[in-house]
Structure 1
Amino acid sequence: MEFEVKAKLKYKVKSDSSIILSIHASDKYQKIVDETLIISPKIVATEMESAWEGNRLISLAVKPAENLSITYKAIVNNSFKIKEIRNVREADIAKLPSDVLPYLYPSRYCQSDKLYRLANNMFGYKKNDFEKVQALTYWIYLNVEYLSGSTDSETSAYDTVTEQAGVCRDFAHLGIALCRALTIPARYFTGYAYLLQPQDFHACFEAYINGQWLLFDATKLVPLNGMIKIATGRDAADAAVANIFGDVDFVSSAVSCDLVDQSLEPFYADHEQNFAISYT
């Protein structure tokens, strides 16, 4: 399914600085049909990949200027798969691939070690990993209020349980932490999202079940088959849209994700169904 995605970021640069951006659509399991990157004033962008996730990054060395504008546009086929989940096997930790193991451990924003008792008391009785993740995702949806401006860059999953309010990244962090507390590998997923209002970058999470990464979104704000993946990581620290080193002020952003000349039957996950979306 083809989507046109756009991101325009504006900054005010006050001193010699560096900016590392993660706004390019992933080329892992997605087809990039066309893409452009325009930077004004003109600056050479160094393209690179994150060491272990393969997220696409661009690095900019910027000089003081009134305004820095970065515009990214792409046509992307997201190549999602709707999978029927049957005969779920409990994860054999000793046999997990080495690249999956880091997603079992606590991380900066996902303190799964502090949520072990909560997760197992509330969801440990479910008969398999898929049902556990369905249940915890639905619990977050019911019990955490989506409230813009209620959290900041320091808010963790543990904070979100306490405050019971947050935005998409907080919902994702809590889902990841609860999964890991249940010994289910989980990772952060950020991307462009079709039908999200207002348009912005969106965060959700993937859980490793039956040898595959399945997508879950406790916000229920967007169809799961309308996502264009940008990056994955242990949490938002690994998949930030921008990392800034120096004196740079964020001015504005404009993001969009539109369907290209096709129709889409939106897929919203139901906590009682046996189907899930995979982007791998």
Structure 2
Amino acid sequence: MQFDIDVFIDFDLTQGDAALLMIEAARKGGQHIVHSRLDIENAELRKMGAEGSLDQRVWAITKDNRLQARYRASVEVDRAITAIEDLPTTPLDALPNEALAYLRPSRYCPSDLFQSFVSRKFPDLNGGALILAIRDWVQGALAYVPGSSNSSTSAMETFMSREGVCRDYAHLVCALARASGIPARYVSGYGPDVTPPDFHAVAEVWLGGGWHLVDATAMSTPDTMVVIGAGRDCADVAFMETGNEAQFRELNIRVTRR
């Protein structure tokens, strides 16, 4: 399936600041870039290249302290939907390096705080069946409420408040999966059914020797998710980082099916 992506970002930057952007679709992971173009007005661009296996970053050094970026791409996604319910958990001593790091707690996914909850809530489940139960529980337990969380909200705070946005759903799934002994990472991307249109976040778990996308918001499926990048939590895959505060002007994202 092919998707057309059109992103426009407009921010005022602090004098002398550069912006590190991560908005381009990944060139690996079950998707192919048919064509893409990143245009930033009055800026010098410096590509950082891939970090790990999925993401792409670019420094934008603006000349007038205003960042106006447009990213257009057409992406072919050939990622199949896999039935994960029968996939096993990989034993700890058999995990590859790429998965082992995503078993540990992180700033927004304090998985060590959820171990007793997981053992009580899902006592007889493991592997893919457990992940599906976690996904369904998060989807049912949380209310999707825009503006209910902020950039510092952790999975534990979401667990307590029972509301959030896609970022919070993904953090909670990752935290519960890691607490169960299953590596999980936070994935950013684009989806045609994301409402309201925005950068989207899902979890990705290691089962049966590979990574599998899991979306507790039900706004995307593996074959409709255009992945940008993956990390321990949202801090690793922010769409923009600056040294000082940036003032928001406009953000428009449109994702359509061909």
Verify same fold: TM over 0.5: yes
- Measured after TM superposition, the shift of residue 62 of structure 1 is 2.5
Aligned with 2:8: secondary structure?
Answer: strand
TM-score by length of 1: 0.88
Residue 119 of structure 2 corresponds to which residue in structure 1? Answer: 120
Residue 55 of structure 2 corresponds to which residue in structure 1? Answer: 55
Distance 1:93 1:22 in 2: 31
Residue 14 of structure 1 corresponds to which residue in structure 2? Answer: 14
- Measured after TM superposition, the shift of residue 194 of structure 1 is 1.1
Distance 1:26 1:103 in 2: 19
Aligned with 1:6: secondary structure?
Answer: strand
Residue 274 of structure 1 corresponds to which residue in structure 2? Answer: none
Q: CA RMSD in A?
A: 1.5
Aligned with 1:88: secondary structure?
Answer: coil
Distance 2:27 2:50 in 1: 13
Distance 2:211 2:33 in 1: 21
2:111 aligned with 1:136: no
User: In structure 1, what residue type is equivalent to 2:168?
Assistant: D
User: In structure 2, what residue type is equivalent to 1:232?
Assistant: A
Distance 2:14 2:35 in 1: 33
User: In structure 1, what residue type is equivalent to 2:215?
Assistant: D
Task: Show the 5 A alignment for 1:31-50.
Answer: 31-40=32-41, 42-50=42-50
**Gapped regions of structure 2 (runs ≥ 5):** none
Aligned with 2:181: secondary structure?
Answer: coil
User: In structure 2, what residue type is equivalent to 1:203?
Assistant: A
2:179 aligned with 1:160: no
Distance 1:11 1:248 in 2: 6
Using the TM superposition, name which of 25-34 and 103-112 deviates more: 25-34
Residue 265 of structure 1 corresponds to which residue in structure 2? Answer: none
Distance 1:49 1:181 in 2: 32
- Measured after TM superposition, the shift of residue 10 of structure 1 is 0.1
- Measured after TM superposition, the shift of residue 50 of structure 1 is 4.7
Q: 1:161 to 1:81 in 2, by over 3 A?
A: same
Distance 1:85 1:190 in 2: 21
- Measured after TM superposition, the shift of residue 93 of structure 1 is 0.8
**Gapped regions of structure 1 (runs ≥ 5):** 261-280
User: In structure 1, what residue type is equivalent to 2:120?
Assistant: N
Residue 263 of structure 1 corresponds to which residue in structure 2? Answer: none
Residue 240 of structure 2 corresponds to which residue in structure 1? Answer: 242
Aligned with 2:52: secondary structure?
Answer: coil
Distance 1:59 1:46 in 2: 5
Residue 229 of structure 1 corresponds to which residue in structure 2? Answer: 227
Count residues in correspondence: 257
Percent of counterpart pairs with the same letter? Answer: 32
Aligned with 2:75: secondary structure?
Answer: strand
